[in-house]
Amino acid sequence: MASFNHSFYFDPSYGHKLESLLEIAPPAEPEGFEEFWQARYQKALQVSPEAELSGDLWSHPDFAVKDIFYQSTEGFRIGGWLLVPKSGSIRRGLVVGHGYGGRDGPDFDLKISDAAILFPCCRGLSRSGHRGVSNNPAYHVLHDIDKPRSYIMGGCVEDIWVSVTVLLQLFPAIEGHIGFQGTSFGGGVGAMAVAWDSRIQRAALNVPTFGNQPLRLGLPTTGSGAAVSLHQRRHGNVMETLQYYDAALSARHISVPVHVAAALFDPVVAPPGQFAIYNALAGPKELFVAEAGHFDYPGRAEQDKRLNDELQRFFEPL
């Protein structure tokens, strides 16, 4: 395990090594957990997204890049980008989530042949800004946290499900060949989405957050978890809501192949929460052990390249 010079007031490895991280289990599942999510999923399936595509403002040799907007649950308008191959038939699709900083454009790192790739922005963030919802992660993560059925994370999960619907409506031939990839915020939300959506056949979660919420609340970070911990100290028990929004608990219900990149050192998303998600996965799984996440260090470029190569291989059977 590498050690890093840093100026954080806490240890971003939290005293763990790989062996102890692989022993972290999810918390107890609350009563009605599965019913809670199944009801939300069925609601999301009723949405008619009415996707609108326009423009091709990005220049890329392999993809046409389209602006896309569509309706999600509760009247939220979701914006993003759609990559469409310039040649060949489209036989598979990929939904790509984003970190809590949102995104200002699509990524071109994953070169999955014959794939339409959708980059949605979850409600309140980046292209999906909404009046009354802050795009600051420290406030966004608290939006309606006192209301278990209205908490914004549930809506963000629904945005992923609706994004799958959009891909299927635009490209019906990809049914049975849809994947998901998400990093950090997108990885945590993605775990909650993949668990209940049988339309997704394969998923990659990179340094995913929202794992083992009781443990997460007790660990110092510089990320959204710090805002939730502060809210807990000031206002009381948030676990009435967060017990349902635990990516490690949802991971127990995922049966499709999942690739997880989890870090040994991460000041933003505590590694114990990341590994809790990986450890809880019920189906086929692969682990990429990253030296660090959300942190620049001399070997990061090489690590990112190795991870990207693994993801290319992982999604090839999609």
Looking at the domain assignment, is residue 3 inside a domain? no
Residue 3 has pLDDT above 80, yes or no: no
Question: Is residue 4 situated within a structural domain?
Answer: no
Average pLDDT, the chain: 96
Strand 52-54 relative to strand 63-71, pairing = antiparallel
The pLDDT score that the predictor gives to residue 1 is 54
pLDDT at 32: 97
Average pLDDT over residues 132-153: 97
Q: How far is CA 270 from CA 43, 59, 105, 267, in A?
A: 32, 37, 27, 6
Tokens of 15: 């005293």
CATH code of the domain in which 273 resides: 3.40.50.1820
Region of 184 on the Ramachandran plot (φ > 0 left; ψ -120 to 50 alpha; else beta):
left
DSSP, collapsed to helix, strand or coil, labels residue 200 as coil
- Residue at 11 is within a domain: no
Percent of the chain topping pLDDT 70: 99
Q: What is the mean predicted confidence (pLDDT) over 48-61?
A: 89
Q: Is the pLDDT of residue 141 over 80?
A: yes
CA distances for 101 relative to 4, 114, 135, 295, angstroms:
24, 29, 8, 15
CA–CA separation, 124 and 107 (whole Å): 20
d(CA 249, CA 271): 16
How does residue 294 score in pLDDT terms, banded at 50, 70 and 90?
A: very high
The interaxial angle of helices 271-280 and 185-194, nearest 10 deg, is 20
Instruction: Give, for 270, the enclosing helix (H) or strand (E).
Output: none
Q: How far is CA 112 from the centre of its chain?
A: 19
What digits encode the pLDDT tens for the residues 61-119? 999 999 999 999 999 999 999 999 999 999 999 999 999 999 999 999 988 889 999 99
What phi and psi values does residue 229 have, to the nearest 5 degrees? -65, -40
Neighbours of 281 (CB within 10 A): 25
Distance CA 113, CA 110 (A): 9
Q: In what order do the strands lie in the sheet with 178-183?
A: 52-54, 63-71, 77-85, 115-120, 92-96, 178-183, 202-206, 258-263, 285-290
187-219 pLDDT, tens per residue?
A: 999 999 999 999 999 999 999 999 999 999 999
Q: How big is the chain by its Cα radius of gyration, in Å?
A: 18
Question: The domain containing residue 49 runs over which residues?
Answer: 18-315
Confidence (pLDDT) at 2: 58
Q: Does 227 fall in a domain?
A: yes
Distances (CA, A) of 251 to 95, 258, 286: 18, 10, 13
- Whether 8 maps to a domain, the answer reads no
8 A C-beta contact, residue 292 and residue 37: no
Instruction: Please count the structural domains in the chain.
Output: 1
In a domain, 82, yes or no: yes
Q: pLDDT tens for residues 245-285?
A: 999 999 999 999 999 999 999 999 999 999 999 999 999 99
Q: Give SS3 for 298.
A: coil
Is 282 part of any domain?
Answer: yes
Are β-strands 178-183 and 77-85 bridged in parallel, bridged antiparallel, or unpaired?
unpaired
Beta bridge partners of 18: none
In a domain, 5, yes or no: no
